[in-house]
Each structure stands twice: as structure tokens, then as C-alpha cells.
Amino acid sequence: MAPVTTVGEEMHALVERLYPLCRSITGDGVRATLDIVGEYVPLQAHEVPTGTQVLDWTVPQEWNIRDAYIADSAGHRIVDFAASSLHVLGYSVPVSATMPLAELRAHLHTLPDRPSWVPYRTSYYQPEWGFCLAQETLDAMPDGEYEVRIDSTLADGHLTYAEHVVPGQVPDEVIVSCHVCHPSLANDNLAGIAVATFLARALAEQTPYYTYRFLFAPGTIGAITWLARNAERVDRVKHGLVLACAGDRGQLTYKQSRRGDAEIDRVVRHVLAASERPHHVTEFTPYGYDERQFCSPGFNLGVGSLTRTPYAGYPEYHTSADNPDFVSPEAMADTLAVCREAFAVLDRNRRYVNLSPYGEPQLGRRGLYDALGGRSDTKQAQMAMLWVLNLSDGEHSLLDVAERSGLPFDTVAVAADALHGAGLIKA
């Protein structure tokens, strides 16, 4: 009998499968990543040509790499791209040369304070080449001549991103975004890709109120490209969440939108507090992940960011230590659960109008009290009905009711459904 796998284990398996691929802001590594994600949820891929103007940016040349190494005089590969995609400076121009270590050092990147780890470094918009390696590897390299080869190409091509849409009851949209440009880094951001993928699958099993648009795109330039190509319809985006660093064992952290009081901010704050999970809520800053693009002043969308330990908040960040062992199935499952809980609240959060606002309507003769009989939370459910009736003035949402009454949101929403069914309130 096959072992039963949990959703956390399935997400971890996806992280492990994606981990070896060499991703960047463009190139075949991104396409290979999207091909794998497409096995889990159907994707619509978009190819945007080099040179396309996207807001204040221009789509760069496409970068692809086949091989890279530093070899000693005996031909032994001291540093080998085949062992880890982190070993090459991202977007390195091609090079084929022999040079002394003294000259080569200017192109080597290490972490002296973490001598066994390999750093992640890039040079997207300036032509450069280089290698990343462990400090202990560099320390063991004797003076002498080394063969240096980077078999890469920088040529006109495309920037690739993909979308998955879960249709809702209304065309208003919730954006869920994650970046697909990082190479072998498990927490940042393969865990985010995995959580987004399985969140999309979970929502597809329902009929959500909102339409959910999942965006798998390279960081910064990908979000900017999407915004440039969707500027005319961006007003449909009512809420959004950027997922990153979703699998480490740290506490959940929610970074609020630029608005600070957007509905998604209130919903995630409520869900985290009500769940009694250890967590942090931080104010918006114009630095971080792609929430800063969605929250730029011209768009000012209600988009927050959910992580566990935030970027640069853990030693393993942007190093080879951010490997599949660093992320846990349990942490990814917890991140996924919070997303599902938050979107469940978002989907059910409505404003109602009391159709019998003069005095308290008689609930008993409408069978509303009888419908609650035998429930362990009967008193709580009755209070929820009274609170919903009292605050259904067209100005207060169900989240307002839950926060003011101290009652669980789900209890308030169930009460609203009952009252709506009895014709006492209308949306």
C-alpha cells in the first residue's frame, strides 16, 4: 500500500524537483520551471520580446547558460556549474580564458563569514562575468594558472511569465504573485511557487466569489511587465498577495500594503490573530518583493506580502544553505492554510442592509432559533445573529462585525447566511 502523502510533502517534492534548474529573469530555466508548474495547474504563458518598453523599463536580452567551470592546470574542475547553478554569477557574459589566480580573484564571490556556503549573486543590467564559491574552496586554491569558461549567451529573445486564473462569481480579481527568477534557492522562492501552485489547485475545487489570478513571473521586471501589459484592466484587481520565503520554520510575517487599511490587510491581520499563531505584522516599505510594484503610487493596489522569515532575515538567505533541507513540509502547509483561511474570509466578507431595522425582528417565528438547536455554540450563534442585524446598515462588513463583537468570522458569516435566507437582510 502506497504511503499517504500530505499536502506539505507534495509541496516539498515540487520544491525538490524545481531546485536543480537554473532560473534567471529570462531564459529556458524559467520556461522549464513553468512547464513543471503547468503539470499541476494549467498555465497561460506569455513571451514578451527583448526591447519591449514596459513602463520605465525595457525587456532585456535573454540569458541562457549551458556550462561553466574553473579548472586547475590538471583539468580538475574546482568550481562546476553542473554541481550547482549558484556557482555562476547570474547573467554572466560568456568567457573562455586562462588566467592566474591573482587576476581571477576579481571575478570571485564568497562569504568569508560562512566559509562553507556559496552566495547567490547577479549582474542583470551590467555586462559582467563571475563565479560564486565557498570561501574554503577559494582558500584551498594555490597560485597558478586556471582555465575559466562560461558557455552562455546573451541575445535578443523574450521575457517569459505565466498566469493561472480561477474563475469566480464576479470579475473582480485577487492577484497572487510569486517570482520565478531565483536559481537553486528553496525558500526564496521555490516554497512560494509551491504554495501558490497548491493554493490555485485548492481554489479550483471551489466556486470562489472573486476571480483569482496567479502570476508566476520574474521579480521586479516581471511584475512591471505584467502591469504595463494590463494597465487598462488593473482596476479589476481589488486585493492581492505576494508569496515568498514560504517554507522556513520561522513565524509568519505579513507586510501590509501601501494603503495599510486595505481589506486584504485587515483580513490577514484578523486571520493571524484569530488563529493564535505566532506572527508579525509589519508596515509597508518600498523595498522587498513585488508588492512594491503593485503598491507603486500610480497603481496603489491593495496588495500585501506574506512570508515566514522575511527576506534577508535569516543567515541562509541567498546562499547555498537555502536548500530543500532548509524548508519543511509542515511550514509550507501552514503558509498554505493561512492563505486559504484568509481567502475564505475575503470571499465571504460582505456588507448587508437590515430589512427590518426598527426594533429587533422576531427570530423565533422565522425558525432561526430552532435552526440552532443542539449546537454546542448556540449562544454564540444567537449573539452573532443579533450583531449582524444591528450592524447591517450598509456601512459595516461582516469582518467589522467579527472584530467588534469578538466572535469568530465563520460564526458571523453563518449567521448572515441564515438571516439572508430568512429575508431579514440583503447584500
Annotated binding site for Zn(2+): 182, 188, 318
Coil vs helix vs strand at 260: coil
The phi and psi torsions of 161 (rounded to 5 degrees) equal -140, 170
For the record, the C-alpha cell of 90 comes out as 547570474
In angstroms, the CA 21 to CA 372 distance is: 55
Q: Output DSSP code: residue 86.
A: G
Whether the Cβ atoms of residue 20 and residue 202 lie closer than 8 Å to each other: no
In angstroms, the CA 236 to CA 175 distance is: 10
DSSP strand E in 171-249: where? 173-179, 211-217, 237-243
235-253 in b/e form (b: 16+ CB < 10 A) is ebbbbbbbbbbbbbebebb
Whether the Cβ atoms of residue 69 and residue 75 lie closer than 8 Å to each other: no
The phi and psi torsions of 134 (rounded to 5 degrees) equal -70, 145
In angstroms, the CA 346 to CA 267 distance is: 7
Residue 46, class by beta-carbon neighbours within 10 Å (0-12 exposed, 13-18 middle, 19+ buried)? Answer: middle
Q: Which of 336, 329, 303 is nearest to 249 (CA)?
A: 329
Residue 82, class by beta-carbon neighbours within 10 Å (0-12 exposed, 13-18 middle, 19+ buried)? Answer: exposed
For the record, the C-alpha cell of 324 comes out as 530543500
